[in-house]
Each structure stands twice: as C-alpha cells, then as structure tokens.
Amino acid sequence: MAEIELTILMPCLNEAETLAVCIRKARGFLDRTGISGEVVIADNGSTDGSQQIAEAEGARVVPVALRGYGAALGAGIEAAHGRFVIMGDADDSYDFANLDAFVAALRAGNQLVMGNRFTGGIAPGAMPWHHKYIGNPVLSFIGRLFFGSKASDFHCGLRGFDRAAILGLNLRTSGMEFASEMLVKATLSGLRVAEVPTTLKKDGRSRPPHLRSFRDGWRHLRFLLLFSPRWLFLYPGLVLLAVGLFLGALLIRGPLNLTPTVVLDLHTFLVGAMCILLGMQGISFAVIGRRFASHYGFIPRSRTFDGLLEALTLERVLLFAALLVLIGVVALGWGFTQWAERGFGPLPLSSTMRAMILAVTMIVAGLQLAMSAFMGSMIDIPLAERRVSEVPREDWMVRRAEDRQ
C-alpha cells in the first residue's frame, strides 16, 4: 500500500445536503495535484444518510459515538492515515478544491497551518456580523494576548497540520473549543505555525448551523481563561495586591488631603486592605491552578514555574503565613492595650481603626495563605503518586535504595 501524504478530514452530523459536493471537491483536488491522499468523514451519529453518501462518494467513514465537534475531529485525526491532515466543515462553506497553499506550507515544514478568512475573503452572508466584527476579532485578540499566537483568525475551521505533531499535543476538549485548544497548545509547545489566506462562502444547508453564537463563544472564552491561570488569576491578583499596598502605604500614618474637599481616610484604607486580601487569593489560585494543570498535561510544563514550586515548599509558605499572623496579633494586642488604658471606653477612631484594620488584614492574609498552602499540598498528593507510578519499578527501587544511603 502506497504511503498516504494527505488526509482531508471533515466532521459530519447530518450534512446530507452538502457532504457529496465537499467530498467531490476534495477528491478533485487530490486528482488535480497528484497527491496521494484520502477523504475521511468523522461521523458524529448522523441520521440523514450522510454515512451512505460519504461511502458512495469514495470517502472513508469513521463513526464517532461521543457527540461534539472536538470529539469528532479527535477521532478522525486518530484514524487518519496521512502524514498531513487538512480539516474543514462539511457544509460547503470552505473551498476543498483549492488547498494548494495549505499543502505548500506544510511541505515547507510548518506543523500547523491556519486559514485566514479575513485576508482570503468572506462572501456576503457567509459570516454573521457579530462574528465578523465582535466575536472573532475579540477572541483572536485575547488568544494573541494570552498566548503570544500570531494567528489573526483564531477560529478558522479550515486548517492543516502535521498529524504526529498534533497528536503529541494530547488535545482533550470535545466541543467547539477544540479549535482554540489546538492553536493554543501548538503555540505554547513551540510548533511552527503559519497562516494562509482562505475563502469563506455562505454554507449550502437549508437548516441552521450547529454553531450557537453565545454558547460556543462563551466556551471558547472560558477555555482561553482556564488555559491561562496567569491572566485569570495571577495578573489581576498582582494588580490588586499592588493597589492595596499602595493605598495602605499612603494612609497608614493618617488621612491624605488631595484637595480641600477630597480626603482619603479610613474607608479608602479599608478598600486597600480588601484589595490586598483579594490579590493574595488570586496569586494563590494562580499557583495552585498552574500546578494542577501542568501536572495533568492540560498546560505545557514550564521549567521556571517548576523551579518556583520547588522553592515554595509547604513549610516555607507556612512560616511566612505565621509571620503575617504574628504581626497581626501584635497589632491587635496593641489595640487591646489602648482600649484597656481608657477603661474599655470610647477610643480615638482614626489611629485605633488603622491598627485594627492592619491587624485583621494580616491575620486573615496569613490564615488564607496557610490554607492555600495546605490545599496545594493536598492536590499534590495524587500528582506525586502519579509521578511514582510512571517510574519503572526497577528505577523506583534503585532510587529508594539511594535515598536510604
């Protein structure tokens, strides 16, 4: 059997109206270019005879029981025989007859080649206005900002890739966010990513598309946020912590008169304290989330982050947390002595409240940090067991013997 260079893959769920013309265009492209290839239909449980249509047109049908765009594509990629795969929707909106630019880019060594509909041309009525001017540009901008991707059309459904390289990314999502996961993981893993112009025309179906704008848009956004603990937790946490410390430093000695009528005092000092607590919580969540996600392969490992985690042992974090609590207790004790000296009567609001806000903030921050440290260590128990289970038994026994020595 001759080696297959290219698999043209189409996910399918009740696409009887357009499937045949898509397969004919794909097979026509292979015949025209002389590329050794195949057309694979990843069928997601069609009930309109799509499977029979695909087989009649000479395509190979891969049945996929688990519903979802990502599930269908994942199974199709697994079943593909080609070195390269070009995937696209079976609704006749993409031009499978003209895939030359994708093949050329793949042969040039790129491991993921994204189509760009904005440079290639979007026919009137092919893309809803809120997708064209809001959804796609906003999500593409977030993807570039969060992950450093160079792609301008983050969600183009027509794309080609090196099958082995994409399988190595261990893609997991089963819904529409599969497209985002592929590009994000390819970027973070250092794969060579390129972009070529492609066209988009109005699909040939008489029924509404499977895509649901707000539901699937939210799934893409949710994925981008969950895949980046830095932007979801760390950066907001650092900003809040900086704001809180700045306000605290300004107001720790007393009120600040900005103008004769604008005075920052205890209420602003209290806001600063809340910012500090929220900021520390955000940073803690970022560390815990990144640790968990990287160990399970959801986010690529980072030597810098792993080194930081090695330094942030439970004991060191608890020691710092205890220091914060101690400072808070000392401040609380000072406040109590001031109250006792006045016979437990009224206290001067400005000076005493500052000490009490500082005391409570330090105590809560310390306790919060300690609980986060214990939570991180609890999460690390199954991760550590997993790491041990992945070491061959002989190597594990050798390491145990060396440790005893």
pLDDT per residue as tens digits for the range 382-398: 555 544 444 454 453 44
DSSP H or E run through 144: helix 136-147
pLDDT per residue as tens digits for the range 157-187: 899 999 999 999 989 888 888 988 999 999 9
Least confident span in 39-48, 113-122, 325-334, 371-380: 371-380
With a CB cutoff of 8 Å and minimum separation 6, the contacts of 216 are 175, 176, 177
pLDDT at residue 335, rounded to an integer: 79
pLDDT at residue 42, rounded to an integer: 96
The DSSP symbol for 34 reads T
Residue of 377, 355, 327, 203 lying closest to 269 (CA atoms): 355
Annotate 260-324 with DSSP letters as a single string: SS-EE-HHHHHHHHHHHHHHHHHHHHHHHHHHHHHHTTSS---HHHHHHHHHS-HHHHHHHHHHH
Mean pLDDT to the nearest integer, 10-24: 94
Residue 139 has pLDDT above 70, yes or no: yes
- pLDDT > 70: what percent of the chain? 87
The DSSP symbol for 192 reads -
Span between the terminal Cα atoms of the chain, in Å = 57
What predicted TM-score, i.e. pTM, was given to this entire model?
0.76
Least confident span in 87-96, 198-207, 251-260: 198-207
Query: What are 228's two structure tokens?
Result: 């980046």
Residue 261 has pLDDT above 70, yes or no: yes
Least confident span in 11-25, 155-169, 244-258: 244-258
> Which is higher by pLDDT, 300 or 237?
237
Mean pLDDT of the chain: 86
The DSSP symbol for 57 reads T
- d(Cα 264, Cα 334) in Å, to the nearest integer? 24
pLDDT at residue 308, rounded to an integer: 75
Residue 305 has pLDDT above 50, yes or no: yes
* pLDDT category of residue 263 using cuts at 50, 70 and 90: confident
